Chains A and B, each alone.
Chain A
Amino acid sequence: MATRLQFENNCEVGVFSKLTNKYCLVAIGGSESFYSVFESELAGVIPVVKTSITGTRIVGRMCAGNKNGLLLPHTTTDQELQHIRNCLPDEVVVQRVEERLSALGNCVACNDHVALTHPDLDRETEELIADVLGVEVFRQTIAGNILVGSYCVFSNRGGLVHPHTSIEDLDELSTLLQVPLVAGTVNRGSEVIAGGMTVNDWTAFCGSDTTATELSVIESVFKLREAQPTAIVDEMRRSLIDTYV
């Protein structure tokens, strides 16, 4: 189910949180209500870790991870690294990456099997990603933007990309990622998808400006509506989704 929330009156939820199938990182310094929304959805299922990275609150954009591992920029302090290692389950490998492009969340978009990276990423980093996260790495651009981590979001069940993506690109990306993709917006027409929302296999969190249309698109493409009667889903599907691969 998709939930709408705000971090300190800002709708860019994906900037301040990172959600995967095994854990969730949230920024510190916000009000407890932000934290508590995550808790209410995820408590007991996966750990919700309050942390900062490099002393900043923009944890969602600084790190990249999936159920296998988590990559942190080289500017992460030792205390933060230790704190995260402590809080996360032992199967998750936490690794600091020496990389010039330190906002890993903007440069890398991944799910548990495939990752799309910034075309300028170092070779070593790419190998590290393949190792630590256990994914197949592809260098890509989304609608001509090189910051793939900002403009697309995908989980193991579906993905949402920048609205200006052409149909051929959608097809190609879908083939690469092996998930259905749709071009759409979040937070009332914002094109920065990953900044506005964060998602895993069963839940998603979006900024509160997200309109009902956008929310329904998100719920359909990420298949978050398992509990809904299928009739409604089918009906909506016809009118809403326009590309399936």
Chain B
Amino acid sequence: MYNLVQHSQDYIRRSPFHTCFSIHYLPIIKPSSLHRLLRFLSPILLPSPFHKTLTLVSAMALNPSDQASTGMFFPTQTPGTVLCCTCGVVMAPNPANMCVKCLRSRVDITEGLPRQAVVNFCPDCSSYLQPPNKWLRFNLDSQELLHFLVKRLHTRFSRLVTLTHAEFMFTEPHSKRIKIRLRVRREVMNGAILEQPHIVEFVVHDKLCLSCSRLQANPDQWVAAVQLRQHVPHRRTFLFLEQLILRHGAATRAVRIADAPHGLDFFFASRSHAIRFVDFVNSVAPVQYRTDKQLVSHDPKSNVYNYKHTFSVEISPICREDLICLPPKVAHSLGNLGPLVICTKVSNSIVLMDPFTLRVAYLNATQYWSDPFRPLLSSRQLVEYSILDIEPESDIVTVGGSRYQLAYVQVARMSDFSNVFTVKTHLGHLLNVGDNALGYDLFGANPNDMEMDKYKGLVLPDCVLMKKSYEEARARRSGKQRNFKLKRLDIEVEPTGGRKGEDDKRNDEYQKFIEDLEENPELRFNISLYKNDNYEPSEMGSSMADAEEIPSVPVEELVADLEGLDIGDGQDQE
């Protein structure tokens, strides 16, 4: 019932409700309604803002509008004055009937309230401890910090007083003290309410939180490791995965990323982070994994076991543009798909296509790993062919999201124009006479595949074309920059030592990967390409024919690179 608190000057204008009837006229007001109205009469003693002492204020009963609405006549009521019962000074009456000073000298409502408290602070991550073991980050002098500190006190004084207001007082930043001024309120004596300011000082103790102390002890310590492996001679998959990971931020919680032969290692500080990463990889590539753990320490008294967890994730060796000879069982299960297939797309399932019949089949991770097979030839073994003649056989069809056209072509290897082969290809829509194409040379290859031997009477075509070649055009354009760039993950590479050719090989692979990105729009789908600020299209004033021939990334797909901007707090950008 602590109603409006008003400044003492307002009080003179209004007054407690009172009726006065004599025997001669007007009926009697019912006692019940009088009691109800008089409940509002509860004077309040409040601190004056200027003197920091208590002054006398009264709360209101009915306001004039209420009185007028009942239609009765209420004479004006001027409150009288009484003497304070202790010191005899003239004052307005209040429930205690003592002047403010006497009341305050008798009663101290802040008795029993804490004046000092301790709060723990981690200097590394500037967070405050909420016992037993939760660390919360707050800025100094922020509302959240005030809220937090008041909450820490709340249990100790909530049963004594109520809190009206809280604010910070100034303390030196390095004094390790935080001062708060609280306004507390309590009912004393016969219902008079006293309000008083109260200062609490918090002593800040420095204490490293658990994660910071672990970091200090051993910054490289990891609890879970994910070992990503793919047993193929090239690293295209990992370059692509790297871009995917960057785009989805799957490796933000990784403590360290290291290079390993045939793969990458990711180290995490907690098992759940590692599981999350493994789930992510599971959704973008056909993988199988197993997990193991190793006991690091053991507390027998509280039965706490600390482990190091390891996830060994293996990605299937089938990549895009691989030529595969399916084992008979797999071919049968896929509906007698021709034993020679090419892999057109790898996400969390493998898309296999028969290049001669344009039939497509899908294998997901479990299906693949129940009966794994290896590719026959992979993209390193691609050979350049020149198209001598082309004759489309069917219309352009859309199969599995891409367009293909069956055609008969006459081709010859660039290195050896003496042998001319006539083969069927699925790239009829792309190739023209005089173009160059990349394909697998089965005529000259010596396949060493056990699965192929199982087929009796298998006739291999001389060559399987895979994609169009832009090498010549690229050679002409060499030296010009691309209009996009890619971000890289921060991978720790072991010092190569004696292996000099490795670096060159890796650069080559990276270039090929970028060219792959340019040629295939569907590959770019899940990757962020950033605008290259250094790229000046005006320098490309040379022949327009070049620009047409080389596939490039349209500008609409590029994302502005925000990290390059130098955004400071409150600084002007010229």
A43 at interface (Cβ–Cβ under 8 A)? no
Closest B residue to A239 by beta carbon equals: B88
Contact B93 A183 (CB under 8 A): yes
Contact B83 A119 (CB under 8 A): no
Closest A residue to B103 by beta carbon equals: A189
Residues in B with CB closer than 8 Å to A239 are 88
**Interface set, chain A 176-216, CB cutoff 8 A to B:** 176, 183-185, 188-191, 211-214, 216
Shortest CB distance A159–B (Å):
14
B116 at interface (Cβ–Cβ under 8 A)? no
How far apart sit A239 and B19, CA to CA, in the bound complex (Å)? Answer: 30
Chain A contact-residue range equals 35 or more
Known contacts A139-B22, A213-B86, A242-B90; A146/B34 CB under 8 A? yes
Contact B23 A137 (CB under 8 A): yes
Contact B19 A213 (CB under 8 A): no
Residues in A with CB closer than 8 Å to B84 are 213
Complex interface: stretch among B71-79, B144-152, B284-292, B513-521:
B71-79
Residues in A with CB closer than 8 Å to B16 are 143-144, 164, 166
Contact A119 B80 (CB under 8 A): no
How far apart sit A167 and B190, CA to CA, in the bound complex (Å)? Answer: 23
Shortest CB distance A169–B (Å):
6
How far apart sit A145 and B28, CA to CA, in the bound complex (Å)? Answer: 13
Chain B 355-375 interface 0/1 with A at a Cβ cutoff of 8 Å (1 = within): 000000000000000000000
How far apart sit A118 and B282, CA to CA, in the bound complex (Å)? Answer: 89
Residues in A with CB closer than 8 Å to B97 are 163, 185, 189-191
Chain B contact-residue range equals 35 or more
A168 at interface (Cβ–Cβ under 8 A)? yes
Known contacts A188-B85, A240-B83, A243-B80; A166/B22 CB under 8 A? no
How far apart sit A219 and B78, CA to CA, in the bound complex (Å)? Answer: 26
Contact A140 B83 (CB under 8 A): no
Known contacts A120-B31, A213-B88; A167/B80 CB under 8 A? yes
Contact B28 A184 (CB under 8 A): no
Known contacts A163-B97, A166-B15, A168-B76; A146/B31 CB under 8 A? yes
Chain B 62-100 interface 0/1 with A at a Cβ cutoff of 8 Å (1 = within): 000000000000011111111111111010010011100
Contact A188 B86 (CB under 8 A): yes
Contact A120 B85 (CB under 8 A): no
Contact B85 A119 (CB under 8 A): no
Contact B19 A144 (CB under 8 A): yes
How far apart sit A211 and B89, CA to CA, in the bound complex (Å)? Answer: 13
How far apart sit A182 and B250, CA to CA, in the bound complex (Å)? Answer: 84
How far apart sit A64 and B81, CA to CA, in the bound complex (Å)? Answer: 29
Contact A163 B93 (CB under 8 A): yes
How many residue pairs link A and B with beta carbons under 8 A? The number is: 106
Contact A170 B22 (CB under 8 A): no
B118 at interface (Cβ–Cβ under 8 A)? no
- With beta carbons under 8 angstroms apart, the residue of A166, A190, A211, A217 that contacts B18 is A166
A8 at interface (Cβ–Cβ under 8 A)? no
Closest B residue to A167 by beta carbon equals: B78
Residues in B with CB closer than 8 Å to A183 are 80-82, 93
Residues in A with CB closer than 8 Å to B22 are 138-140, 176
How far apart sit A211 and B102, CA to CA, in the bound complex (Å)? Answer: 13
Chain B 7-30 interface 0/1 with A at a Cβ cutoff of 8 Å (1 = within): 000000001111111110000110
Contact B78 A166 (CB under 8 A): yes
Residues in B with CB closer than 8 Å to A95 are none
Closest B residue to A117 by beta carbon equals: B23
Interface of B, secondary structure class, is loop
How far apart sit A74 and B75, CA to CA, in the bound complex (Å)? Answer: 38
Residues in A with CB closer than 8 Å to B34 are 141, 144, 146
Shortest CB distance A147–B (Å):
9
Contact B81 A242 (CB under 8 A): yes
Contact A165 B80 (CB under 8 A): yes
Residues in A with CB closer than 8 Å to B93 are 163-164, 183
How far apart sit A240 and B82, CA to CA, in the bound complex (Å)? Answer: 9
A78 at interface (Cβ–Cβ under 8 A)? no
B169 at interface (Cβ–Cβ under 8 A)? no
A226 at interface (Cβ–Cβ under 8 A)? no
A172 at interface (Cβ–Cβ under 8 A)? yes
Shortest CB distance B224–A (Å):
72
Closest B residue to A212 by beta carbon equals: B88
Known contacts A164-B93, A167-B80, A213-B85; A189/B190 CB under 8 A? yes
Residues in B with CB closer than 8 Å to A242 are 80-81, 90
Contact B85 A143 (CB under 8 A): no
Closest A residue to B38 by beta carbon equals: A144
**Interface set, chain A 107-143, CB cutoff 8 A to B:** 119-120, 126, 137-141, 143
B41 at interface (Cβ–Cβ under 8 A)? yes
Chain B 38-59 interface 0/1 with A at a Cβ cutoff of 8 Å (1 = within): 1001000000000000000000
Max count, chain B CB within 10 A of own CB: residue among A164, A167, A188: A164
Residues in A with CB closer than 8 Å to B38 are 144-145
Known contacts A164-B93, A240-B88; A140/B41 CB under 8 A? no
How far apart sit A163 and B58, CA to CA, in the bound complex (Å)? Answer: 14
How far apart sit A231 and B534, CA to CA, in the bound complex (Å)? Answer: 105
Max count, chain B CB within 10 A of own CB: residue among A141, A163, A170, A190: A163
Contact B78 A144 (CB under 8 A): no
How far apart sit A236 and B97, CA to CA, in the bound complex (Å)? Answer: 20
Top-8 shortest CB links A-B:
A189-B97, A213-B88, A163-B93, A166-B77, A163-B82, A167-B78, A185-B97, A119-B28
Binding site for A on B (CB under 8 A): 15-23, 28-29, 31, 34, 37-38, 41, 75-88, 90, 93, 96-98, 189-190
15 contacts across the A-B interface (CB closer than 8 A):
A120-B31, A126-B23, A137-B23, A139-B23, A141-B19, A144-B17, A144-B38, A146-B31, A183-B82, A185-B97, A188-B98, A189-B189, A212-B88, A213-B85, A243-B80
Binding site for B on A (CB under 8 A): 119-120, 126, 137-141, 143-146, 163-170, 172, 176, 183-185, 188-191, 211-214, 216-217, 239-240, 242-243
Besides A140-B20, A144-B34, 5 new A-B residue pairs in contact (Cβ under 8 A), listed by A number: A139-B23, A166-B15, A168-B76, A211-B85, A217-B83
